[in-house]
Amino acid sequence: RMTRLRVGHGFDVHRLVAGRPLKLGGIEVPHSRGLEGHSDGDCALHAACDALLGAIGQGDMGRHFPSRDPRWHGVASREFLEETVRLVREAGFTLGNLDITLIAQEPVLAPYLEPMRTTIAEVLEVEPELVSVKAKRARSSASNRCVHRREKAPGPAKGKAVAMSWNPMLTIWGKF
Ligand code: MG
């Protein structure tokens, strides 16, 4: 008999660039730069989508929301999550819980974790108790090496990469 308990994992990284609002965890966080992307760049919601899609064995965001499809250009990432939740329900599952860790050097995300949690729970149509959003600062030598390596990368991306000092990364485990 197949178990009805599923666990998925999602991960995403977007670059921080000037001239865009910072959309993260379904809300706007005041900051001088925002996340690059063909949508609003909200990597927290993207990782959530990938975790949910992985848990139901339906690939990832690239399969369901291809960037070449103009339908998804500039959309709020909560639309991706809404559609993903629809797929989860269609597959016969309900959310057990969702645990999110944001990794970033800046800005300080602590004041925004609770609004993110509430917003994500609202999109998922579950009690906020089932959603957890945590944040860690990324000041390790490993992340510095990562930044330095990108600065040395050849090609036209070089100038842009120097401006990147902030790497949001997420891991999400969804349990059904
Ligand atoms: Mg993404």
| 3-state DSSP of the chain | CCCCCCEEEECCECCEEECCCEEECCEEECCCEEECCCCCCCHHHHHHHHHHHHHCCCCCHHHHCCCCCHHHCCCCHHHHHHHHHHHHHHCCCCCCEEEEEEEECCCCCHHHHHHHHHHHHHHHCCCHHHEEEEEEECCCHHHHHHHHHHHHCCCCCHHHHHCCCCCCEEEEEEEC
**Cα 67 to averaged position of ligand 1 atoms, centre (Å):** 10
**Cα 72 to averaged position of ligand 1 atoms, centre (Å):** 12
**Cα 62 to averaged position of ligand 1 atoms, centre (Å):** 9
Q: What is the mean pLDDT of residues 35-50?
A: 90
- The overall longest dimension of the chain from CA atoms, in Å, is 55
Given a cut of 60, whether residue 170 has pLDDT beyond it is no
Q: What pLDDT, on the 0 to 100 scale, is given for residue 94?
A: 87
**Cα 45 to averaged position of ligand 1 atoms, centre (Å):** 8
Q: What pLDDT, on the 0 to 100 scale, is given for residue 156?
A: 32
List 43's β-bridge partners, or say none.
Answer: none
**Cα 14 to averaged position of ligand 1 atoms, centre (Å):** 6
**Cα 108 to averaged position of ligand 1 atoms, centre (Å):** 21
**Cα 5 to averaged position of ligand 1 atoms, centre (Å):** 26
CB 101 within 8 A of CB 170: yes
Kindly report, residue by residue over 75-90, the tens digit of the pLDDT.
899 999 999 999 999 9
